[in-house]
Amino acid sequence: MRFYTETHQHYCGIDLHAKTMYLCILDREGQILLHKNIRSRPEAFLAAVAPYRDDLVVAVECMFTWYWLADLCRREGMEFVLGHALYMKAIHGGKAKNDKVDAFKIATLLRGGNLPKAYVYPPEMRATRDLLRRRLHLVRRRGNLLAHIQNTHHQYNLPVPSAKIAYKANREGVAEVFTEPDVRKSMEINFMLIEHYDGVIRELQLHLERRAKQHDPQAYHRLRSVPGIGRILALTILYEIHDIRRFPRVQDFLSYSRLVKCEHSSAGKKLGTGGAKIGNVHLKWAFSEAAALFLRNNPEGQKHLRRLAGRHGKAKALSILAAKLGRAVYLMLRKERVFEMERFLART
């Protein structure tokens, strides 16, 4: 957990919503200079903070509407801090809760150096990252259609197609096995939607790959040098990291990627682990997938996994392998090197 500890003349805490925003501005001594509700509009915000622009820092809790405010503060030369929602929930919980109270608490945490920070993803690559996450939504919708076709076969006690219907070449004649016209029509609709999703996803992936080659082509190709990391995993890792230098240590990166467990202890006694939901779920998925794909057609990697499994068990061995890949990616991007299998397998 990292806190914003810099000192300023004025501290602005905002409880931000889609249509309104509650502002609370404190001075260095903690006196309330402004406490009011305004419209969530750039002109309204700038007019409200105009008398306090001298050495002003602005803070909001991380929620879906912060993009425009962060970009506005950047253009206007104002310091902007994004509060980590999960950590802030533990810190400023209280008996009374409303917009006015929340804005005051955010400003107070900011002034006292107790505001936990989240990463403010800059706009240059942010839209591409969001588009990549949108692709995941489309893939899941396509998967639901494929699952519905399979479940319908089970409903009518029909044999499931032996070939994977995810591929277009294996879909011919699948809908015709249903004798009920309405069921057959439902299957035909599913296949039409799947074919449409196939085209959309294919075009989207090409677009994302072109954008990656524009934003950071060297990092993209270095990621592709890792066995098991293909186009989609490389894109995911690239855009979820953005800049590897924002992680001072490899331990920080592994924690952010949810590849290590955080130990809880008290009075010298271990109480288990926690914080499993704090971090980047997309990086966790990418490295977990990469660990499984790393073993495909890779005898050296399979031998390494067997050695890990002999010490820790197979399930934990895969988690260790995913963490090792995360460590390797961190060092590759920091040192601007491609993946080296011998160096990777030599690490304990």
Q: Report pLDDT digits (tens) over 165-206.
A: 999 999 999 999 999 999 999 999 999 999 999 999 999 999
Matching residue, tokens 């105009």: 50
**Residue listed under structure tokens 């306090």:** 52
pLDDT at 164: 93
Cα separation of 167 and 120, whole Å?
40
Q: How many angstroms separate the first and last alpha carbons of the chain?
A: 28
The two tokens of residue 211 are: 């954008």
Q: Are 48 and 63 in contact (CB under 8 A)?
A: no
CATH architecture of 3-118: 2-Layer Sandwich (3.30)
What lies within 8 Å, CB to CB, of 309 at 6+ separation is: 317
Total number of residues shown for the chain: 348
Structure token pair of residue 78: 């104002």
pLDDT digits (tens, 9 = 90+) for 287-312: 999 999 999 999 999 999 999 999 99
> What letter would DSSP give residue 163?
S
**For the chain, which residues score pLDDT lower than 50?**
none
The residues with which 75 forms a beta bridge, in sequence order, are none
pTM: 0.91
Q: Contact at 8 Å (CB) between 237 and 223?
A: yes
Write out the two tokens for 156. Answer: 């009518």
Domains of the chain by residue range: 3-118, 123-215, 243-263+277-346
Closest to 294 measured CA to CA, from 341, 240, 331: 341
pLDDT at 158: 94
